[in-house]
Amino acid sequence: MKYLVGLVKKLIDYIEGKWLDMPIKLNSVEIRIIACLIEKQLTTPDYYPLTVNSLMAACNQKSNRDPVMQLTETEVQQGLSGLIEQFLVREKELPGTRAAKYEHKLGATLTQEYNFNQQQLAVLAVLLLRGPQTLGEIKTRTQRMADFTDLGQIETCLQSLTKHQKGAFVAALPREAGRREVRYTHLMSEGSEVPLTDNSQSHLVAENNQHDDLQLLRNEFNAFKTEFKQLKQQVDNLLNSGR
């Protein structure tokens, strides 16, 4: 049994490592959930991690959200399951609490894969919760989450997120007619891509290939989970029959 547990752990570590090499591509519910986890970690750390109920309230909050959503408890639980399967969220057991609590794994304290610092997390949270933003809007809306002395620091942070070791997490949008300021958007949702430039075709081909690899890895992981459950049941049956 101990050998089996060790083998399964090695397989999970291998799959997690492969998964984390893929770009993050989330649906709208997963985007809202992980953004709320980041926001609440930075603004109300005493009440973090979050239960399903507190996370649902954060997701459905009417202020600082665009768009406003009305997620059900089932939708939040499904979103959490998807994020856990992608190794972006984990359930955390705390002494003296009955309800399960959840925290994201994007910060440096839980994983070295993304290793986002507080400023990077704050910028991502704003973009994930509110959509495209200008430098000034980002500075105003990150005030409760991180300290930025000026717009230059915001721009430096954004540049670090465009050149992250795991790929681009944000991008500047083409300047709109009548707008003086450039807006920035996140690239963590399904279907999002770096805005087109003259040299972007090869990048888009690579992005499409990565998306195919991500789907293949997702299928392999789900098949592995099913086989593991079956194997665990067989081992439990064997142990019970020997008693």
Residue partners of 135: CB distance under 8 A and separation at least 6 = 151, 154, 155, 158, 181, 182, 184
Task: Give per-residue pLDDT as tens, 101-157.
Answer: 999 999 865 555 788 999 999 999 999 999 999 999 999 999 999 999 999 999 999
Average pLDDT value over all residues in the chain: 82
CB 132 within 8 A of CB 185: yes
> Bridge-partner residues for 185, per DSSP?
171
Could you please report the per-residue DSSP string of 68-98? -----HHHHHHHHHHHHHTTSEEEE--TT--
pTM: 0.75
Helix or strand run (H / E) with residue 242: none
Cis amide bond preceding 174, omega within 30 = no
Give the tokens for residue 45. 């750390």
First vs last Cα of the chain: how many Å apart?
15
3-state helix, strand, coil in the chain (%, to 5): 55, 10, 35
Closest CA to 169 of 182, 160, 181: 160
* Region 59-68 average pLDDT: 96
Cα 121 from Cα 1, distance rounded (Å) = 40
Task: Give per-residue pLDDT as tens, 168-198.
Answer: 999 999 988 888 899 999 999 987 666 654 4
